[in-house]
Structure 1
Amino acid sequence: MRARLTTALCTATTLVAVLGACAANTGGSSTVDTGRQQTGVIATDPKDSWGPAPEVPGARAGGTFTIIRETPVSHLDPQRTYSFAGLMAAPLFARSLTTWKDDGQGNLVLVGDLAETPGSNVEDDCTVWEFKIKDGVRFEDGRPVTAKEIAYGIARSFDPDLTGGPTYLQEWLADTPQYDTAWDFGANRGALPPGLTTPDDRTLRFEFARPRCDLPFAASLPSTAPLPADRDTGINLGHAPFSSGPYKVTRFRAGVEIVLERNEHWDPATDPVRHQYPDRFVWSFGPTTDTAANRVIADNGADQAALSWDYVPASLVSRVAGDAALRSRTILSPTPTANHLVINNKRVTDLRVRQALNYAIDREGLVKVLGGPHVAAPNTTLMPPATIGHRAYDAYPAGRNGDPDRARELLGGQTPELVLGAADSSVEQQLATQLKGNLERAGFKITVRAIPDDAKLDEIKKRDNPWDLYLSSWAADWPSGAAILPVLYDGRGIRAAGNSNESYFDDPAISAEFDRILALPPAEQAPQWAGLDERIMREHAPVVPLYVDVAYLVHGSKVGGVFVSSVFGYPCLLDAHVKP
């Protein structure tokens, strides 16, 4: 691992140090290093940002690659994309200012995608950034992508009707979390928000009121995808996004199927990470996780070239893990995804109740429900172990199976009646049943209410949602506490909808700490984030950390090139191909 990393860094500037061991996708191994921490570098050689991407050994062009998923992708509109499935689907048809070269083993190099480089820090103080846009990048209708279409895409993310996506760029340009009141996209359609300019067709310029040294990383998200103004269909764009990538959406049947076929105007010479191997990708929705896994295990017909998107379900883990014949058709990898039982702090205002919730949870039982160590590992911190500088602690030590007696002691005779909102997917309903049992033995009365899975992400992001508790997960948009703690726990950003702060936690002292740490040089931030992680949990208990995901996937015998994203922990499709 270190030898390959050294080779990768010969033309790159190190952003963070290697702080932990790495483990490759082990393809059926019974163990996985869930303590792996990511490494990140920014490419300095412009050649790293151009294509074509290196050929994948054994890959060939042709065939239909199918992804089977129980529930639909929440949004295909790049400015609204923020679900794991959406973030992994978007690069097939939407290019961003920057992107990650990822080997699937935790080694990441940030390169230019639409831009010629990962950006220029003009004043050397992170307040002014410029990106030079590549020649040769074209939309699906053949017209060239220029700085103006990228700027328009960013501007439309200010539209309060287009909720759900990341808000880094909007907040940084407006210099306030309340960006949607600072600049009105509807009233200024055709204009750009303050701080965003296009000096010419090939230059995109950002000017910030304060240093924003993480801009090149934030620019890797789909929110910087370009869009011509004449192709903006508002809230309906997700049904027919306008492609700048190697594939374009040719069929969209809501809740049933999405078909992507080759974009003949994509130029591989401009693209450092993507390929165009399959003739088409088909996302097929509806089958349960058990059904999808059983289909690809059976390996018949079209399912030979199919991937079961959702991790191997608990009911099949022992069967898959114990079948040596399936070992070459499984992927086992640690992920950076942390799962929490989120407490709505606007509704559950008593700290002792939130602390009791933390003592009540049987994490080992949850892991068993999920399928065991092939699927999840218990976690007691806000930041997952993959985060740079992570430090282990347990603010509410309850043993492996919870401490209901301590929870009851904190409740002092109360029997809080709480509503747990859970997606209507089979996995989340199983988890909700387990959590209900944990909490009720500790003195709570829990009502479980189902939320449509494809709507849940939007619904829990509404400030006045009707649930006291809900399950949620977070994988940092880049491997730093800066992309976790301020995003999830800065109360100054809470608005009517589209909140990443799903716990609605708001404490001025903690917000001040966010500002203090973000002003430090990046190399000094990691231990500060670790200390603040523990302080938030001990002083406020805004959520219950539950577990980190382990990716355990099964696919058909003709699937090639799939690996688990080191950034998001779900299948990356950029190297995917259909084997002969």
Structure 2
Amino acid sequence: MRPRVAAAASGAIALVVTLGACSKNTGEGTTVDTNRQQTGVIATDPKESAGPAAEVPGAQKGGTLTIIRETAISHLDPQRTYSFAGLMANPLFARYLTTWKDDGKGGLVLVGDLAETPGKNVNNDCKVWEFTVKDGVKFEDGRPITSKEIAYGIARSFDPDLTSGPTYLQEWLADTPQFDTKWDFKANKTALPPGLTTPDAKTLRFEFTKPRCDLPFAVSLPTTAPLPADKDTGVNLDNRPFSSGPYKVAANQVGVQLTLDRNPNWDPATDPVRHAYPDTFVWSFGPTADAANNRVIADNGPDQSALAFNFVPPSLVARVAGDAALKPRTILSPTPSANQLVINTQRVTDLKVRQALNYAIDREGLVKALGGQTVASPMTTLMPPSTIGFKAYDAYPAGATGDAAKVKELLGGQTPELVLGVADNTNEQTIGTQLKTNLERAGFKITLRNIPDDAKLDEVKKKDNPWDLYIGNWAADWPSGASILPVLYDGRTIKAEGNSNQSYFNDAAINAEMDRILALAPAEQGPEWGKLDERIMKEHAPVVPLYADVAYNVHGSKVGGIFISSVFGYPSFVNAHVKP
């Protein structure tokens, strides 16, 4: 949520990061290739942002690619999209100001999507930015996309009825986390938020009171998806978004099946990233992770061109890892996605109880319950290892399975009774059951409460939610501590609903330290985020770090072009195709 890179003399931003890790033998007959360099740059040559995208070797047009997922996608409305499934589905039917070229191996280049370039830093101070809209970009009905429709999409993200999406642009334009009190979308539907203007049909202009050097990254999120005002159906846009991408919604049986057909008005010559190889994408909801993966493993009929979006579940890991014939149909990749047991600090106010939860945790048991190291890699930090500024530490060293003696010492005879909210999907049910057993063995009393999976993201973001604990997951919107710690732990952002700070942690000294770090030169920020990570955990323990996701997916024999997003850690479909 804050600047991380400085402007170059030309007004273009360039960032290069190198994030190394080591290869890890999982012990389950396969290896997670984490020995790679993750790099990110912002394209300075406009040719990088021009289309068409380079052809995928061997890919052909045609066929139906099916994506099987246990639960429905929480939001399809781009301005409300922030779940992993939503972030991977949206690029099929929505375009943004910028987007990432991703080689699937950690190599990232930020390019213009609807915009001709990743933006112009007008005065080289990161306060004024301009984006020029490409010629030839169109909506599904054939009308041209202009700066007006992009600006309207951003404006509607201020509507308090349309919560759950990213809030970077809203907070930066309003210069306050309470952006919906600064500018009222409902009362100003024909106007634009402060600082956002459209000088002409091709130009979108942002003016901020503070430097916002991260803007090219922030506008790569769905907040900048365009929408004509006459197509805004409010909360009902979730059922049928209006396409600016290569596909459009053909049918949506909500919660059961979403069918996307090609958008004939999408011009590949304008798009540097996407292809439209399959005739149709079908998102099929309902089968459990076990059922979906078993179908894809069997590789019969239509499932030959299907992908199980849910990672290989614990019950199938040994089978998949041990079957050499499945290796060409599996994807095993590290991800930047971190998981925590989030502690609602409004309800669990005793620091000793929060520290005891950290000492009690049995990470080894949790990883085993999830399926082993092809599924999860234990963490003791707030930021995952792939983050710029990562610092390895363990604030509550309890070994692999927990320290019962230290828990007993901290609790001092108490038996805290805590409510753990768990989504009603297979993965969280597995985690919830294991955590309950683990924590009760250590001296807590845990009550599990189910939350509908497609509502969980909205519900835990409500400040007055009724749970003491819940399972949280966060992948930085770009690989920097600046897009993790301020987003999740700046207490000044807390509002009634739509909170990313789901631990509801608010400490004036920590907030001030965030401001101090953000005022540093970007090259100096990395180590400071690592220090702050450790300080937050040692002084406040607002969460229990659990593990980083390892992506392990299986697809049918006729599926090609799938890779794991280097940004979000889930399957990307921009290169997907169906083999003949």
- Which amino acid is 2:127 matched to? T
Alignment of 1:45-444 (within 5 A): 45-444=45-444
- Which amino acid is 1:329 matched to? R
1:569 counterpart SS class: coil
- TM-score w.r.t. the length of structure 1 is 0.96
Cα distance in 1 for partners of 2:385, 2:259 equals 36
Give 1:16 shift.
2.9
2:31 counterpart SS class: coil
Cα distance in 1 for partners of 2:186, 2:73 equals 27
Cα distance in 2 for partners of 1:432, 1:278 equals 38
Q: Deviations over 1:498-531 (max 9, x none)?
A: 0000000000111111111112222111111111
Instruction: Name 2:459's counterpart in structure 1.
Output: 459
Contact 1:34 1:385 in 2 (8 A): no
Cα distance in 1 for partners of 2:417, 2:408 equals 14
Instruction: Name 2:498's counterpart in structure 1.
Output: 498
Contact 1:35 1:385 in 2 (8 A): no
2:336 counterpart SS class: strand
Runs of 4+ in 1 over 6 A off after TM superposition: none
Give 1:39 shift.
1.7
- Which amino acid is 1:422 matched to? V
- Which amino acid is 2:521 matched to? P
2:342 counterpart SS class: strand
Contact 1:38 1:479 in 2 (8 A): no
Instruction: Name 2:447's counterpart in structure 1.
Output: 447
Cα distance in 2 for partners of 1:82, 1:317 equals 28
2:413 counterpart SS class: coil
Cα distance in 2 for partners of 1:403, 1:16 equals 41
Cα distance in 1 for partners of 2:267, 2:17 equals 34
Contact 2:422 2:448 in 1 (8 A): yes
Instruction: Name 1:6's counterpart in structure 2.
Output: none
- Which amino acid is 1:564 matched to? I
Cα distance in 2 for partners of 1:74, 1:509 equals 35
Contact 1:477 1:568 in 2 (8 A): yes
Give 1:35 shift.
7.2
Give 1:395 shift.
0.2
Equivalent pairs: percent with the same residue?
77
Give 1:17 shift.
2.9
Instruction: Name 1:9's counterpart in structure 2.
Output: none
Matched, 1:564 2:564: yes
Cα distance in 1 for partners of 2:13, 2:495 equals 37
Instruction: Name 1:516's counterpart in structure 2.
Output: 516
1:108 counterpart SS class: strand
Give 1:33 shift.
4.1
Cα distance in 2 for partners of 1:534, 1:106 equals 26
Give 1:403 shift.
1.0
Contact 2:23 2:35 in 1 (8 A): no
1:240 counterpart SS class: coil
* Cα 1:476/1:329, change in 2 over 3 Å: same
Contact 2:36 2:105 in 1 (8 A): no
Cα distance in 2 for partners of 1:319, 1:404 equals 34
Cα distance in 2 for partners of 1:49, 1:523 equals 26
Q: Deviations over 1:389-439 (max 9, x none)?
A: 211100000101111221111011111100000001112111101100111
Give 1:29 shift.
7.3
2:421 counterpart SS class: strand
Give 1:451 shift.
0.3
Q: Which deviates the most, 260-269 or 523-532?
A: 523-532
Cα distance in 2 for partners of 1:315, 1:204 equals 50
Cα distance in 2 for partners of 1:144, 1:205 equals 19
Q: Deviations over 1:284-327 (max 9, x none)?
A: 00000000000000000000000000000000000000000000
Instruction: Name 2:478's counterpart in structure 1.
Output: 478
1:212 counterpart SS class: coil
Cα distance in 1 for partners of 2:108, 2:374 equals 24
Give 1:13 shift.
6.5
Contact 1:34 1:335 in 2 (8 A): no
Cα distance in 1 for partners of 2:74, 2:563 equals 22
Q: Deviations over 1:237-276 (max 9, x none)?
A: 0101000000001111111000000000000010000001
* Cα 1:23/1:568, change in 2 over 3 Å: farther
Contact 1:35 1:386 in 2 (8 A): no
2:32 counterpart SS class: coil
Q: Which deviates the most, 28-37 or 101-110?
A: 28-37
2:90 counterpart SS class: helix
Cα distance in 1 for partners of 2:359, 2:310 equals 30
Give 1:224 shift.
0.3
Cα distance in 1 for partners of 2:408, 2:468 equals 19
Contact 2:97 2:114 in 1 (8 A): yes
Cα distance in 2 for partners of 1:493, 1:21 equals 33
Cα distance in 2 for partners of 1:23, 1:547 equals 17
Instruction: Name 2:8's counterpart in structure 1.
Output: none
- Which amino acid is 2:451 matched to? I
Q: Can you give the 5+ residue segments of structure 2 that lack an aligned partner in the other structure? A: 1-11
Cα distance in 1 for partners of 2:517, 2:38 equals 20
Instruction: Name 1:532's counterpart in structure 2.
Output: 532
- TM-score w.r.t. the length of structure 2 is 0.96
- Which amino acid is 1:46 matched to? P
Instruction: Name 1:8's counterpart in structure 2.
Output: none
1:130 counterpart SS class: strand
- Which amino acid is 1:487 matched to? V
Q: Deviations over 1:434-491 (max 9, x none)?
A: 1001111111110000000000000000000000000010000000011100000001
- Which amino acid is 1:508 matched to? A
Cα distance in 2 for partners of 1:526, 1:50 equals 32
Q: Which deviates the most, 385-394 or 558-567?
A: 385-394
1:434 counterpart SS class: helix
Contact 1:16 1:388 in 2 (8 A): no
1:339 counterpart SS class: strand
Contact 1:22 1:105 in 2 (8 A): no
Matched, 1:578 2:578: yes
* Cα 1:183/1:13, change in 2 over 3 Å: closer
1:88 counterpart SS class: helix
Contact 2:19 2:387 in 1 (8 A): no
Cα distance in 1 for partners of 2:361, 2:519 equals 36
Give 1:19 shift.
3.4
Q: Which deviates the most, 32-41 or 355-364?
A: 32-41
Contact 1:369 1:430 in 2 (8 A): yes
Aligned length: 567
Cα distance in 2 for partners of 1:541, 1:381 equals 11
- Which amino acid is 1:448 matched to? L
Contact 2:333 2:564 in 1 (8 A): yes
Contact 2:387 2:481 in 1 (8 A): yes
Cα distance in 2 for partners of 1:571, 1:324 equals 22
Q: Deviations over 1:123-179 (max 9, x none)?
A: 101000000000100000000000000000000000000000000000000000000
Give 1:492 shift.
0.4
Contact 2:131 2:203 in 1 (8 A): yes
Cα distance in 1 for partners of 2:63, 2:389 equals 43
Q: Can you give the 5+ residue segments of structure 1 that lack an aligned partner in the other structure? A: 1-11
Q: Which deviates the most, 32-41 or 309-318?
A: 32-41
